[in-house]
Chains A and B, each alone.
Chain A
Amino acid sequence: MAAPQLRILVAVKHGVDVGLARADRTTGVVALDTAPRKTSDFDRNAVEEAVRIRERLGGRVTAISVGSASAREALRDAVAIGADDAILVTDPAVPVFDTRAVSRVLAAVSRTLGGFDLFLLGEGSSDHFAGLVGPRVAGELGVADVAYVRKLTVDATGVVAEKDLERELEVVRASFPVIVTVGQEINTPRLPTFMATLKASKKEIRQLSVAEIGLDAAHLDPTVRIDRAAVPATTRKQVTITGNTPDEVARTLVDALRTEGALP
């Protein structure tokens, strides 16, 4: 009997493009709903890691995105890197900025798919960067989770993962099913070839509504409201230090810093 195939899920977010989001000139307010979007940085690392594991051990990689129709872009990115299947949960009932709703949807999709061995996510999204979704899905499902992973070894029954903490590295072993979150230090995502990108653009994306994954839309009401997101005004002095020689520049700067009391 052949060994059962590894079932790998990976979540991808089509989040606000932090490089392109523009603030209102007078108020600084960023309109999150209409801001340009792109695939969240660490999610590419999660997809790359999933694909590498499949390349080594076999199995199937299913990419899942929760969002509006534009989230298809994130799924195409995932397929171009090498994901086998793509699922989009799009439903006006899902408040995409609410980590509770998104986590409940991801947990429900995994149940609808009949479970998983390994579920990979980015450890934080470029726009929200809360680091909540992966552990939150694990809490909901009652499965193991390892966050902030920089090195991941997978065998037939589970993972050994190296967690990057502020001042320590922790090596942890967990059996399947397990949820792992990763950052950009774990790998360098491949640049998809032209052919892979072309194929991804034609890939069928399975679209599911909230009802189709067994959730009641009424239970996804937002519990967190973003009242305001604004770029803070800068209040720096912006003094240009000039001089004819580096020594002169240096002396002028030192004098200015002394006057400010910024030097010992």
Chain B
Amino acid sequence: MSPESVLCWSEDPDLAGQLVRLARSVASGPEDRVFAASFDPPSDDGSRRIAEAGAHVLIRPNPAGPASTDPHVVASELRALVDTSHVTLVLLGSTKRGREIAGRLAGLLDAPAETGVARVHLDAGAVVVEREMLSGNALAQETLIARPAVVAIMPDVSASSPPPTVPVVQQVPSTSPAPLSERLELRPKPSGGVRLESAERIVTIGRGLQKKDDLVLIEALATALGASVGCTRPLAAEAGWLSDDHWIGLTGHRVKPRLYIAIGVSGAVQHLVGMRDSQTVVAINKDPNAPIFGQADYRVTGDLYAVVPALTKALDAK
């Protein structure tokens, strides 16, 4: 088998570090090489940290100033690195930007690609990935037959920690592609200040809640539990009662807390996919046939307006 040459890139330096660690466990042969691309200035702390994760970091600082986020520029620069470093596998982060770049880059390379990947390994030269399908209903195993292959990895995929290496940061000339789009504005989304991905406990509220004011009941329970508040899509995208950072599911955030309490949540597949990896799941719903009960460790059939205050009281009592 010819040696692997893996190129990692993510716009998020933490995720880029995770990709490097994953790459080193996937391509661990003595002649395999792991590169990481960075478009930040060489002085940037991010590229040093990525190098410390064990990659040979190739920096293509944009001479025109701050790195462009135009997908064409990013994909073209990565494509040039794929060519010069004889890359066999590109690992990107499966964020929205990462998936967009994965598509563009795969188009430039005429390469097989997959996103939302939770596991990856090499098997007789082919790249084998595991990912969700059917809006999260199913898990699929797929084989990417041709090389190079482009794979976008879900954040927080664990990898064994590889042995330390000497960090290398090398500057290489940019190919300076002209951008095809221009950023007019970048602003943070309204936020409730939660990061559900790292929450230990989550109390999720769905359309069982009748009005926005009743959120106080949910917040009181969350406080008693030391939990963050999550929600289903309708509460964020349609009602706008909570900001997008609370939204859990296929098109929201993926969470894996120690404890997940779903209240007035029916349990649509697009929601379940976001919480499936929770350790203990409690469902509170007035409909005994709600699908969420099929995914629960503890099932409480009842009106949330009675059960939630009682639960808050029971927690505060102890």
Binds A, one of B18-26, B58-66, B100-108, B209-217: B100-108
Across the interface, A139 reaches (CB within 8 A) one of B75, B97, B183, B225, namely B75
The chain A residue with its CB closest to the CB of B127 is: A224
Q: Bound complex: CA of A238 vs CA of B300, how far in Å?
A: 10
CB pair B251 A238 closer than 8 Å: no
The residues of A that contact B140 with a CB separation of less than 8 Å are: 226-230
Checking B116, B191, B258, B311 against A167 with a beta-carbon cut-off of 8 angstroms, the contacting residue is: B191
CA gap between A163 and B99 in the complex, in Å = 13
Asked, given contacts A224-B145, A238-B297, A253-B300, whether A137 binds B183 with beta carbons under 8 Å apart, the answer is no
Cα A148 to Cα B98 with chains together (Å) = 12
Tell me the bound Cα distance from A165 to B103 in angstroms: 16
Q: Which residues of A contact B241 (CB under 8 A)?
A: none
Cα of A231 to Cα of B134 in the assembled complex, Å:
9
Q: A261 to chain B: closest CB distance in Å?
A: 8
Closest to A135 in B: B103
Q: Bound state CA distance, A253 and B312, in angstroms?
A: 11
**Is the interface on chain B under 10, 10 to 19, 20 to 34, or 35 or more residues?**
35 or more
Assess whether A226 is in contact with B104, with CB atoms less than 8 Å apart: no
CB distance from B69 to the nearest CB of A (A): 8
Q: How far is the CB of B77 from chain A (nearest CB, A)?
A: 13
Neighbour of B137 across the interface among A18, A143, A223, CB < 8 A: A18
Q: Which of B113, B116, B133 contacts A99 (CB 8 A)?
A: B113
Cβ–Cβ < 8 Å partners of B300 in chain A: 241, 249, 253
Contact of B281 with A by CB under 8 A: yes
Complex interface: stretch among B45-53, B164-172, B301-309 = B301-309
Asked if B294 lies at the interface with its beta carbon under 8 angstroms from chain A, I say: yes
Q: Which residue of A lies closest to B180 (CB)?
A: A144
B296 adjacent to chain A (CB < 8 Å): yes
| Residues on B with beta carbons closer than 8 Å to the beta carbon of A256 | 298
Q: In the complex, A226→B141 CA distance in Å?
A: 6
The answer to whether the Cβ of B114 comes within 8 Å of any Cβ in the partner chain is: yes
CB contact between A30 and one of B103, B138, B180 (< 8 Å): that residue? B138
- The 20 listed contacts between A and B (C-beta, < 8 Å) are A18-B137, A129-B135, A136-B103, A136-B113, A138-B103, A139-B107, A147-B103, A160-B184, A164-B244, A165-B189, A167-B189, A171-B184, A222-B145, A232-B138, A237-B297, A241-B299, A249-B310, A250-B311, A253-B282, A264-B226
List 3 tightest A-B contacts by C-beta distance, closest first. A139-B107, A135-B103, A223-B112
